[in-house]
Amino acid sequence: MKANLKVKIGKLELKNPVMVASGTFGYTGEFGDFLDVKELGAVVSKTITVKPRSGNLPPRTCETPAGMLNSIGLENPGIEVFIKEKLPSLEKINPNIIVSIAGEIPEELVEIIKCLNKTKIKAVELNLSCPNVKREKFIGLRPETLIAQNANWTSRFVSTARKATDKTLITKLSPNVTDIAEIALAAQNAGSDALALINTVQGMSIDVRTRKAKIAMGVGGLSGPAIRPIAVRMVWEVYQKVKIPIIGMGGIIDTESALEFFIAGATAISVGTANFVNPGVSVEIINGLFKYLQKNKISSVQKLIGSLECKV
């Protein structure tokens, strides 16, 4: 029996369900010496905005127990430079390119999407959940409030983006909420083809010798194995409420941790922080999934999705 790893996210057909998370894989060229990027199901770009962003002040990262904090601040060259200088090489490396985008107002998403509609990219990920930026444009929410922390604004951003493109639309959600299922439903009902969860958990680390925060901005986004139980729980909660595919992420470091997400309800998974420790881990997980399915005589990875046995 040959195990089938193929999955579908909206219109996006993947030969396997393993991708790399936005912001953790650069523009892929940095990882060419460690793995064959063509083997990945998909590649998610760094988040792109309308205009270039220089990001937050350093220091912007620090290690924590079983994870790391970051406050990069969506540093990127802007959509025009991205399409001209970054995208061509991305398209040569992997045919399934998902471009992560962000905007302070819905109209900025439309401006970016109109540019992307002219390209061959397969899908757009709406990053409505980066905890490391503050809006300067007023939309009725406090500047520090994430779009993905408000169901109504999530709906507005997603519906605006939906009207602007026929490409597969993925909405990336925040764990820093009371009820993530409520936000997930808002995104689904507004036209999102899939959900990506979770983004980083807000956290802080302090240098007790200097009594200063280890991140210049004070608070950063916590990622790595430390947040995996939170991410798995949220994937499971959302899976029970929505009908669209879920891309699970948060602390995936090997095949076993990836399998947790599929069993909880994810259709695909995305590897993030682990890329910094083991650049070839994504391909190792692909091979591991194949072996797991064969060993357990499971014909398709799709039969694993949502197979959790839980009395709750």
The residues annotated as belonging to the active site are 130
Strand (E) or helix (H) holding 300 = none
The two structure tokens encoding residue 177: 């909420």
Calpha distance 2→289 (Å, rounded): 12
Per the CB < 8 A criterion, the answer to whether 43 and 19 are in contact is yes
β-pair type (67-70, 61-64): antiparallel
Calpha distance 122→98 (Å, rounded): 6
- Between the two ends of the chain, the Cα-to-Cα distance in Å is 34
* Closest by Cα among 163, 201, 154, 202 to 182: 154
Cis peptide before 58 (omega within 30 of 0): no
Per the CB < 8 A criterion, the answer to whether 162 and 191 are in contact is yes
Calpha distance 36→28 (Å, rounded): 10
* Closest by Cα among 41, 42, 56, 65 to 251: 65
Q: Which sign, positive or negative, has the C-alpha torsion 279, 247, 192, 118?
A: positive
Per the CB < 8 A criterion, the answer to whether 40 and 90 are in contact is no
* Closest by Cα among 165, 69, 125, 109 to 268: 125
On the 0-12 / 13-18 / 19+ scale of CB atoms within 10 A, 15 is: middle
Calpha distance 96→250 (Å, rounded): 21
